[in-house]
Amino acid sequence: MQYKEWLNEWLELYVKASTKERTYQKYRMQAERYLFPALGEFELEKLTAGELQKFSVSLQHRGLAPNSVNFIVAILKASLKKGVALGIVDRQFADAIVRPKQRTGQVTCFTKAEQKKIENYILEKQKPFLYGILLCLYTGLRIGELLALTWDDVDLKKGTLSVTKSCHDSWGQNKYVKVFDTTKTASSERIIPLPKQIVSILKLVKRQTCGRFVVVGKSEYGAQIRSYQRTFGHLLKILNIEHRGFHTLRHTFATRAIEVGMDVKTLSEILGHRNPSVTLRRYAHSLIEHKTEMMNKVGHLLV
C-alpha cells in the first residue's frame, strides 16, 4: 500500500471521527500541502528512517518555522503509529526523526498606557459591539469564546460568565460562515467571575441591544471573527497603537492579573488552561517582574 492511500484512510476514518472538524481540516490541509507530495508515492515498507529524516530536513530548508515542522512531523508520526497498531505497517521510524527545537513565542501585551487609550475610546464611543474588546481585557476570553457568548451564558445577578462553547469562521458557499463548536479543550469550559465594573457595562449593553448574542453583528448569529478582528485592527490604527493580534487582549489580561497579585492557579482556571504549569510557562516574563517587586518588598526589612 502506498503511504498516500493509508494517510487518506487514516485522516477520514480516525482523525475525522475523533477530533473537531476544524482540527481535521487543519490536519488535512498540512497533509495535502506537504505529506502527500513528498511521501505519498512511497510504499509503506519503504518509508525508512533515512527518508523520513530527509523529509523533516527538507521542511526546514523551505523556511518553515520549527513549530510548523514539528506539527507536520507529528501528523506523520501519528499516522504511522496507527498503521503499526492495525498491522498495516510492520514498523515505523518516525520516532528516530531529529526535529528542530520548538520555541515558545514571546508573549506580547499592551502597555498600561495603551490599554487605557483603548478603554477610554470604547467607553467614549459607547458602541455596543466594541464592548466585547473591553470584556476580553478583563476576562481573558479567546475571540472564538467571546463571539459565541449568548446572554444565557451571562448571569448578571451573580456576576458570572459561563464559557461553554466557541466558534470559528469556515469557508462555505463562496463566503465565510460562522460555525459553532465546543471549547478548545475540556478545561476551557469554565465559569468566570466578572469585575463589578464589567457587570455594569454588560447591563448597559443588554439594554441597548436585542438578540441572543452578547457581541452584536450584521446577522442574527452575532459578529463574525474576521469582521471583528478587522474592527479591532481599525481601532488600533485610529489610536495610533502598533498593530497586534486580537489574542494580545488575552495576554494583556493575564499580565495585568499577575501584576495585581493574582495567584497562578486562579489565573490558570480563569484562562481555561489545562493546568497551572501551562500558565507558568507562558507568562514567566510577567512573573519575573512580579517576583522582583515582591523580593524588593522583603528587602525593605533590611533597612
Cβ–Cβ under 8 Å, residues 152 and 213:
no
pLDDT at 94 over 80: no
pLDDT at 145 over 80: yes
Domain termination site, one of 96, 128, 160: 96
Alpha carbon distance 239, 214 (integer Å): 25
Residue with cell 465559569: 191
What is the tens place of the pLDDT at every residue in 40-80? 999 988 888 888 888 888 988 888 878 888 899 999 999 99
Q: Per-residue confidence at 143, pLDDT binned at 50, 70, 90?
A: very high
Cβ–Cβ under 8 Å, residues 271 and 125:
no
Q: Are residues 133 and 182 in the same domain?
A: yes
Q: Are residues 195 and 268 in the same domain?
A: yes
Q: Are residues 213 and 264 in the same domain?
A: yes
Say what the pLDDT of residue 104 is: 57
Say what the pLDDT of residue 118 is: 97
Check which CATH number belongs to the domain holding 25 and give it.
1.10.150.130
- Report yes or no on 103 lying in a domain: no
Output the average pLDDT for the chain: 88
Q: What share of the chain is helix, strand, coil (3-state, %, to 5)?
A: 60, 10, 30
Measuring CA to CA, which residue among 287, 264, 262 is closest to residue 276? Answer: 264
Parent domain of 140 = 112-293
Q: Per-residue confidence at 172, pLDDT binned at 50, 70, 90?
A: low
177 by DSSP, 3-state: which?
A: strand
Check which CATH number belongs to the domain holding 234 and give it.
1.10.443.10
Say what the pLDDT of residue 89 is: 83
- Report yes or no on 105 lying in a domain: no
